[in-house]
Amino acid sequence: MTRTDSIPSTDFIRNIIEEDLKANKNEGRVTTRFPPEPNGYLHIGHAKSICLNFGIAAQYGGSCNLRFDDTDPSGEDVEYVESIKSDVRWLGFDWDDRLFHASDYFDQLYQYAVQLIKDGKAYVCSLSAEEIREYRGTLTKPGKDSPYRNRSVEENLDLFERMRAGEFEEGAHVLRAKIDMASSNINMRDPTFYRIKKVPHYRKGNKWCIYPMYDFTHCLSDSIEGITHSICTLEFENNRPLYDWVLDELNVDCHPQQIEFARLNLSYTVLSKRRLVELVDKGYVTGWDDPRMPTLAGMRRRGYTPEAIRNFCERIGVAKRDSIVDMAMLDHCVREDLDQRAPRVMAVLRPLRVVIDNYPEDQVEELDAPYHPQDPSMGSRKVPFSRVLYIEREDFLEDPPKTFFRLAPGREVRLRYAYYIKCVRVVKDEQTGEVVEVHCTYDPETRGGWASDGRKVKGTLHWVSAAHSLPAEVRLYDRLFQIANPSGEKEGYDFTRYLNPNSLETLTSSRVEPSLAGVAPGNRYQFERLGYFCVDPVDSSDGALVFNRTITLRDSWAKIANKERSRE
Ligand code: ATP
Ligand code: MG
């Protein structure tokens, strides 16, 4: 499969922008923004939006702002601000000096609201939240006017000013746009623009007790920053008339174009911040950076590379219709990237002791082992071989079926980079009957793994020398959910029921080859025959190595893709 990392594919949004450029709209300028709310960590869905917004800006010589959409103080926090900044940088994008906060526009937004009131386009409504809902009507039933709809401009200005001054309790009043309670678009039925919320803001402290709503804030923030193309996800399609209404009524100089695309949905996980917060708060995972989480922090800790994620975002493309992307495709992108960059080393996850009876007791040989089979520039290291080794427990069977080509009594296999060995007897635990040690002989004529008499073996095993290898903890991760689509929306639906109870298996007696002494946190390796692993950046230390399994070697996506291709 070819890599598409550097060739931006085209899509309907890029087509729109190219048309705009041809028509010299916005004087040929392209300015986008990525507008996260700092109420959680970024996930892989956000990565799609980041790649799109920053990618488009780069492609058309424009710029992309990072804007914190921080107008709802409950749940927003600097911890999230910092994590978002570091995740965007890690993904490989840079906002230079274009870091903005919607909360910095509070004064300006307030002035805009006052202007709407003066123009008779907004009013203070004193219905309760419950009543507002009732008055709104439904998809099939028009809404009805609020009894407060025709308050005078003076009364509205007075009440709005007093809302700001903190004279009223939460819920007593809201500021609403005066549009059309009979509109077929429910968003246009006098939407709320400001509500009272006596919650301090993480940046503004207690300065405000009224906060602007998304529909009022977003379009104006875009306009203030001179955004040309405001790219958002499909659920905002029905908000677009409102986006345009606000900007038209206020007659602002810059009126960006909102364009919607389908959000990323990924199988076997959830991509809603509300749900991710729940996983963290209720302790289903160890934190936002738990390697099982679909967050960028989790994926980074698990060993995914930014290149793999960018490549994935490129491949899934940008469309106008919702769909669920197969997790196997993300896995495939991760594998494809790590295959090229990860040095090969040997580790034994579940060790079984092997004694080479005819190997001298105090002899040690340093065998040459290349770091990458296709990339000699990665060099090689020495791997010590001695009389007592460990192999993978599952690579030995006492009573194997015919198709088992690994080690068994009387059978000969190759030890990678080393020798042919043949099993001559086993030692069992007297109580349990479990095989605890395997005795073998080796053929000194097969050094390097090849027999001079041309005799063939079917199996090649990885191994480590018992005395030289280092102990390590290895964390094996699997899908977080057992079902492909855990994101149901029905009332009373509990998505946590579908969590995979086996999403983490911790192995505490694994052994790794001695070249891994002192490895840097975050380093990635292929453990031969097992998968890709990364040094856990949080828990690993020189004295106590911890590895996360990023992904196994089995590529189910390549199989799916091949099948589809052969069907075509
Ligand atoms: P969530 O639905 O997970 O709570 P959100 O949309 O509320 O996410 P924001 O912080 O508002 O989160 O998102 C910032 C930007 O990222 C928005 O422009 C949003 O459209 C985009 N975004 C969020 N989730 C996805 C997704 N799954 N796919 C693509 N873009 C997304
Ligand atoms: Mg949002």
Distance (Å) from CA 498 to ligand 2 centroid: 25
Query: How confident is the model over 364-388, as pLDDT tens digits?
Result: 999 999 999 999 999 999 999 999 9
Residue nearest to atom 13 of ligand 1 (CA): 36
Which residues carry out catalysis? Answer: 37, 263, 273
Residue nearest to atom 27 of ligand 1 (CA): 45
- What pLDDT shows up at residue 3? 43
Torsion, CA 100, CA 106, CA 107, CA 111, rounded to 10: 120
> Which residues partner with 470 through β-bridges?
512
Residue nearest to atom 10 of ligand 1 (CA): 36
- Using most ligand atoms within 8 A of CB, pick from 42, 46, 231, 236 the residue to mutate for ligand 1: 46
> Is the per-residue pLDDT at 173 higher than 70?
yes
Q: What is the edge-to-edge ordering of all strands in the sheet holding 122-125?
A: 122-125, 174-177, 192-196, 210-212
With residue 442 as reference, give the H or E element that holds it. Answer: strand 435-442
> Is the per-residue pLDDT at 530 higher than 80?
yes
Q: What is the mean pLDDT of residues 343-368?
A: 98
Atom of ligand 1 nearest to the CA of 233: 20
- What pLDDT shows up at residue 490? 79
Task: Please give the residue that has the higher pLDDT: either 2 or 549.
Answer: 549
Distance (Å) from CA 32 to ligand 2 centroid: 16
**Quick one: which ligand is closest to 69's CA?**
1
Query: How confident is the model over 384-405, as pLDDT tens digits?
Result: 999 999 999 999 999 999 999 9
**Quick one: which ligand is closest to 214's CA?**
2
Residue nearest to atom 4 of ligand 1 (CA): 273
Distance (Å) from CA 46 to ligand 1 centroid: 6
- Using most ligand atoms within 8 A of CB, pick from 263, 267, 280, 313 the residue to mutate for ligand 1: 263
Q: How far apart are the C-alpha atoms of 305 and 316, rounded to whole Å?
A: 17
Contact 332, 557 (CB under 8 A): yes
Atom of ligand 1 nearest to the CA of 272: 3
Q: DSSP letter at 263?
A: P
Distance (Å) from CA 16 to ligand 2 centroid: 24
The per-residue pLDDT of the chain, averaged, comes to 95
Question: In one letter, which amino acid is 376?
Answer: P
381 φψ region: left (φ > 0), alpha (ψ -120 to 50), beta (else): beta
Quick check: helix, strand or coil at residue 405?
Answer: coil
**Quick one: which ligand is closest to 34's CA?**
1
- What pLDDT shows up at residue 563? 72
- What pLDDT shows up at residue 509? 98
pLDDT band at 180 (very low <50, low <70, confident <90, very high): very high
With residue 224 as reference, give the H or E element that holds it. Answer: helix 214-224
Q: What is the mean pLDDT of residues 250-256?
A: 98
Query: How confident is the model over 470-521, as pLDDT tens digits?
Result: 999 999 999 999 999 998 777 788 999 999 999 999 999 999 999 999 999 9
- Using most ligand atoms within 8 A of CB, pick from 42, 233, 274, 325 the residue to mutate for ligand 1: 233
**Quick one: which ligand is closest to 213's CA?**
2
Distance (Å) from CA 285 to ligand 2 centroid: 23
Query: How confident is the model over 195-222, as pLDDT tens digits?
Result: 999 999 999 999 999 999 999 999 999 9
> Which residues partner with 472 through β-bridges?
510, 545
| 36 closest CA partner among 221, 293, 270, 286 | 221
Q: How far apart are the C-alpha atoms of 431 and 165, rounded to whole Å?
A: 79
With residue 559 as reference, give the H or E element that holds it. Answer: helix 556-567
Distance (Å) from CA 303 to ligand 2 centroid: 28
> Residues enclosing ligand 1, CB less than 6 A?
35-37, 45-46, 48-49, 69, 232-233, 263-264, 271-274
Query: How confident is the model over 434-477, as pLDDT tens digits?
Result: 999 999 999 999 999 999 898 999 999 999 999 999 999 999 99
Q: How far is CA 36 from CA 46, 59, 74, in A?
A: 8, 22, 15
pTM of the model: 0.94
